Amino acid sequence: MANIETFGPIDPDGPGLRDHLRAMAHPHRLVMLALALAGLAAIIHYMDWSWLPAYLPKLWNGLLMTLAMLGSSVVVGFVFALPLGLAQVTGPRILRWLATGFCTVIRGTPLLLQLWLFYYGLGSLFAQFPEIRDSWAWAYLRQAWPYGFIALTISFAAYQGEVMRGAFAGVPRGELEAARAFGMSRWLVFRRVWFPRSVFRALPTLTGEIILQLKSTPLVATITVTDLYAIVTRARQETFLTYEPLLLLAAIYICLSGILVIAMRWLENRVPTGR
């Protein structure tokens, strides 16, 4: 039972690079590292990677598409999550019901189903109206990515709205009352105390939500958006290889998740979380 937490935070700043390196230097870890490197070498040597150079530019474009989908849906979804969370905590009864119902419905049904509802349902509906077909918006609406963006954004807004509800409700009443006692208006209380405190409280869970969102992005490939997953699927179909493209894809997503975790940890350390 002695070393359950090999990576346990010893110094208040959390484990630094040197602690991680020291933790890696256990004999069995070195052996496992060697085995992993040998496995990697075998994968590179014995598997067929001759297709990779030809697909690199497409993979890069796919990566950009995945990141664009992730970034835009997280940012816009977060903006929508704020009123959703707030309405569930203090809104008038009708708004509260609407926000709660919206979050329940979105969180209770699969994202894939929502995506297909928007793409096939809305897409075929829009196509029936000549006014829409003739308008400037049709150039965008006939493409797939707006529907992917809408579905991903709504999904993120619903999940994050639930988190924000908890964060808004969790700000200690005393802080709000203290702000009121200073004579701040309700809006000023919201802007200076309630809002920043709840966002800071929600930050630690935000990392997990963004990772979950990253893991949802490949679904847009099913509605012909050419993200990373779609490129890899095409490579699999064209080269008749089963494992190599999938392994590469998994490796890329692991790297992306790792970078996200590190970036968010850096961000969290710069923000006063209170406690």
Partner 1 sequence: MIAGFDFSLLAYDSPGWGKALLVGALQSVKLAAGGYALGIVIGTVGAACKLYGSSILKDLAEIYTTVIRAVPELVLMLLFYYAGTDLISRLMVSLGYERVDVNGLLAGILVLGAVMGGYATEVLRGAIRAVPHGQIEAARAFGMSPLMVFRRVTLPAMIPHALPGMANLWMIVTKDTALLAVIGFSELTLVTRQAASATRAYFLFFLAAGALYLVLTLTSNIILRLVERRSRRGLAPAAG
Task: At 158, list the tokens.
Answer: 């619903």
Is residue 72 within the footprint of partner 1 (CB under 8 A)? no
Is residue 185 within the footprint of partner 1 (CB under 8 A)? no
Question: Which residue of 44, 45, 94, 124 would you call a contact of partner 1, by CB under 8 A?
Answer: 124
| Span near partner 1 by CB under 8 A; candidates 45-53, 108-116, 134-142, 189-197 | 108-116
Can you count the helices (H) and strands (E) in the chain?
14, 0
**Contact criterion met (CB below 8 Å) for 77 and 154:** yes
Task: At 148, list the tokens.
Answer: 């992917």
In total, the chain counts a number of residues equal to 275
**Contact criterion met (CB below 8 Å) for 112 and 222:** yes
Stretch 194-213: interaction string toward partner 1, x if CB under 8 A: -----------------x--
Nearer to partner 1, 78 or 118 (CB): 118
| Span near partner 1 by CB under 8 A; candidates 56-64, 197-205, 217-225, 262-270 | 217-225
List b or e across 129-155, with b for residues whose CB sees 16 or more CB atoms inside 10 angstroms.
eeeeeeeeeeeebeebbbbbbbbbbbb
Contacting residues toward partner 1, per CB under 8 A:
3-4, 26, 28-29, 32, 104-105, 107-114, 116-117, 120-121, 124-125, 170, 211, 214-219, 222, 229, 242-243, 246-247, 249-250, 253-254, 257-258
